[in-house]
Amino acid sequence: MGTYFGTDGVRGVANGDLTPELAYAVGRAGAAVIAHAQPMDRPIVVGRDTRLSGPMLEGAIVAGITSTGRNVLQVGVVPTPGVAAITTRIEAAAGVMISASHNPIEDNGIKFFGADGFKLSDATESEIESLLADPSLPRPTGLDIGIASHARGLIDRYFSLLVEAGGDLSGLTIVVDAAFGAAHLVGPKIFARLGARVVAINDEDDGSRINVACGATDLRMLQGRVRDEIARTSGPVVGVAFDGDADRALFVDERGDILNGDRVMLILARDLAGRGELPANTVVGTVMSNMGFEKALEREGLRLVRAAVGDRYVLEAMRGGGYRFGGEQSGHVIDLQRGTTGDGPMTAVALFSIAARTRTPLRDLAAGMSVYPQVLVNVRVADKSVGDHPAVRDAIAAAERVLAGDGRILVRPSGTEPLVRVMVESTDEARTRDVAESVARTIRGLTPAV
Annotated binding site: 101, 243, 245, 247
Contact residues for 248 (Cβ-Cβ < 8 A; gap 6+): 101, 102, 216, 242, 261, 328, 330, 331, 332, 333, 342, 344
Nearest to 410 by CA among 394, 396, 395: 396
| 148 neighbors 62 (Cβ within 8 angstroms) | yes
Binding site for Mg(2+): residue ranges?
101, 243, 245, 247
Beta sheet of 325-327, edge-to-edge order = 303-307, 282-286, 325-327, 333-335
149 is annotated as an active-site residue: no
| 253 neighbors 292 (Cβ within 8 angstroms) | no
Distance in angstroms (rounded) separating the CA atoms of residues 314 and 319: 9
Contact residues for 196 (Cβ-Cβ < 8 A; gap 6+): 169, 170, 172, 173, 174, 352
The residue annotated as part of the active site, out of 101, 330, 353, 426, is: 101
SS3 content of the chain, % helix, strand, coil (to 5): 40, 20, 40
Neighbours of 428 (CB within 10 A): 14
Contact residues for 117 (Cβ-Cβ < 8 A; gap 6+): 84, 85, 87, 88, 95, 339, 340, 341
Nearest to 251 by CA among 238, 242, 240: 240
Neighbours of 429 (CB within 10 A): 12
178 alpha-carbon distance from chain centroid: 14
C-alpha dist (Å) from residue 338 to 160, 302, 334 = 12, 21, 8
- Amino acid 122 reads D
Q: What is the DSSP annotation of 316-358?
A: HHHHHHT--EEE-TTS-EEETTT-SS--HHHHHHHHHHHHHHH
Distance in angstroms (rounded) separating the CA atoms of residues 390 and 366: 41
The CA-to-CA distance between both ends of the chain, in Å, stands at 23
How many helices (H) does the chain have, and how many strands (E)? Answer: 14, 19
| 239 neighbors 175 (Cβ within 8 angstroms) | yes
305: β partners: 284
Neighbours of 378 (CB within 10 A): 14
Give the active site residues: 101
